[in-house]
């Protein structure tokens, strides 16, 4: 679409043989408008990425950081990382954290969207209240869950004890077996409204007439959901899932507030591990390498998203 517009606009005048003509200038004029955006992206995104890449192939540590003459080490930093059991642990923790969060917050978000798509009194107010979880600063929701899951005074334990599911205090975030679960639950709580709002918008875009026609044809509620809602929601669901994936994979603050990556390294996801390497241990080279791997993963997801959404559009 965009291409055809430029072609009709300048098409007749652009002739390679005519050298720099008026048309060519006009064409260049178009690029002129792009320059500020390009410069902005280059300065704020590409340059840091380049610097990060450069750092990741050098030995940058507390002694060489300021001196500037960083020894080139090729892919050594990456090799050290891949061989490091702590890094591999962080990767698997990240995958569990992301997978667990996405699955539940998408399912619950979808269920809530289906609920809110029907008009009922108080719908708007309830929806707004649900959004609160999304709007709260992460430090607040992190602290909220940190104390809710506390073993001595936590409301979760109090509730479980009241209904007889638990007889003695359980330290959810202290116990290495449940700490990750605790952070996942908190992240699900934060993420549900985001999923719900986007999915709700998608649901509202499905013409009501389709459902009417299906009802006339005798489709029951489940059939309408299976054969109408699900296929029509595919593109939206895909976007929500991929955005959620990227967002969840780089969660840092929530976990930092709740457990700081502990106990031991039970909740140390990749972003926490990367932060530690660079800003606590001053292993800037390795930190940069870890950041690059994180970036490659995220860019991979983004490309998958673009590819899938383009295929959706064509289909």
Partner 1 sequence: MQRRTERSEQRVEQRTEQRTEQRTEQRAEQRPQDQPGATTPTVNRRTLLKAAGAGAAGVALAGAAGARPTRARQGGTTIRWWDYYNEGANNTAMQAQLQRYMDSHPGIVVERTTIPFADLKQKLLQGATAGELPDVAVIDNPDHQAFAALGVLEDLTERVTSWGQAASYFEGPWNSTTFEGKNYGIPDNSNCLVLWINTAIAGAAEVVPPTNWDELRAAAKALTAGDQYGLAVSGVKSEEGTFQWLPFLWETGADIPTIDSEGGRAALQLWVDLVAERSMSQGILGWTQQDVLTQFQNGKAAMMLNGPWQIPVLKQDSPDLQWQVTTIPVQAQGASILGGENYSIVAGGPNVDAAWELLTWTQQPENLKQYLSEAGKLPSRQDLAEDPYWTGDPVLRVFVEQLKVARPRAYGPSYPEISNAIQEAIQAAVSGQADVASALARAQATITPLLPSS
Q: How far is 305 from 301, CA to CA, in rounded Å?
A: 6
CA 69 from centre of chain: 36
Residue numbers at the binding site for partner 1 (CB under 8 A): 62-63, 65-67, 146, 150-152, 169, 171, 173-176, 259-265, 276, 279-282
Burial 122-132 (b: 16+ CB within 10 A, else e): eeeeebeebee
DSSP letter at 15 equals -
Output 110 or 284, the one with its CB closest to partner 1.
284
Tell me the closest approach of the beta carbon of residue 188 to partner 1, in angstroms. 20
Counting other chains too, the contacts that 306-312 makes at CB distance below 8 Å and 24 or more residues apart are 308/238, 308/242, 309/235, 309/238, 309/239, 312/234, 312/235, 312/238
Output 171 or 211, the one with its CB closest to partner 1.
171
Output 181 or 233, the one with its CB closest to partner 1.
181
Tell me the closest approach of the beta carbon of residue 174 to partner 1, in angstroms. 5
3-class state of residue 72 by DSSP? strand
Q: Are 223 and 215 in contact (CB under 8 A)?
A: no
Output 47 or 307, the one with its CB closest to partner 1.
47
Output 171 or 225, the one with its CB closest to partner 1.
171
Structure tokens belonging to residue 142:
């992190």
Residue whose structure tokens are 């652009």: 14
How many CB atoms are located within 10 Å of the residue 54 CB? 14
Output 105 or 138, the one with its CB closest to partner 1.
138
Tell me the closest approach of the beta carbon of residue 165 to partner 1, in angstroms. 19
Tell me the closest approach of the beta carbon of residue 177 to partner 1, in angstroms. 9
Output 143 or 223, the one with its CB closest to partner 1.
143
List Cβ neighbours of 59 (8 Å cut-off, separation of 6 or more).
70, 71, 72, 73, 76, 77, 285
Output 149 or 184, the one with its CB closest to partner 1.
149
Tell me the closest approach of the beta carbon of residue 123 to partner 1, in angstroms. 36
Tell me the closest approach of the beta carbon of residue 101 to partner 1, in angstroms. 21
- Residue 58 phi/psi, 5-degree rounding, is -120, 160
Tell me the closest approach of the beta carbon of residue 278 to partner 1, in angstroms. 9
Tell me the closest approach of the beta carbon of residue 26 to partner 1, in angstroms. 42
List Cβ neighbours of 96 (8 Å cut-off, separation of 6 or more).
180, 184
User: Which among 188, 7, 227 has a CA at the least distance from the CA of 97?
Assistant: 188
């Amino acid at each position: 679409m965009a291409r055809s517009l430029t072609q009709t606009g300048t098409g007749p005048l652009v002739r390679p043989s005519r050298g720099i003509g008026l048309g060519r200038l006009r064409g260049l004029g178009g690029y002129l408008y792009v320059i500020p955006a390009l410069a902005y992206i280059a300065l704020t995104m590409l340059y840091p990425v380049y610097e990060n890449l450069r750092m990741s192939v050098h030995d940058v540590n507390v002694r060489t950081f300021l001196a500037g003459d960083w020894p080139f080490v090729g892919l050594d930093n990456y090799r050290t990382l891949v061989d490091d059991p702590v890094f591999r642990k962080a990767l698997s923790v990240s995958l569990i954290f992301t997978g667990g969060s996405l699955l539940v917050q998408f399912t619950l978000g979808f269920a809530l969207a289906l609920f809110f798509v029907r008009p009922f009194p108080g719908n708007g107010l309830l929806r707004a209240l649900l959004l609160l979880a999304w709007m709260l600063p992460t430090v607040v929701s992190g602290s909220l869950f940190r104390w809710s899951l506390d073993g001595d005074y936590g409301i979760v334990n109090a509730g479980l004890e009241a209904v007889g599911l638990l007889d003695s205090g359980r330290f959810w975030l202290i116990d290495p077996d449940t700490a990750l679960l605790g952070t996942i639950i908190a992240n699900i709580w934060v993420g549900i409204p985001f999923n719900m709002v986007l999915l709700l918008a998608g649901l509202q875009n499905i013409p009501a007439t389709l459902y009417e026609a299906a009802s006339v044809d005798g489709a029951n509620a489940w059939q309408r959901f299976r054969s109408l809602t699900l296929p029509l929601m595919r593109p939206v669901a895909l976007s929500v899932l991929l955005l959620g994936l990227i967002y969840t994979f780089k969660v840092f603050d929530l976990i930092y507030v709740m457990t700081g990556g502990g106990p031991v390294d039970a909740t140390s996801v990749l972003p926490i591990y990367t932060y530690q390497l660079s800003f606590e241990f001053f292993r800037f080279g390795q930190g940069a390498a870890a950041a690059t791997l994180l970036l490659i993963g995220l860019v991979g997801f983004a490309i998958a998203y673009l590819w899938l959404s383009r295929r959706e559009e064509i289909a």
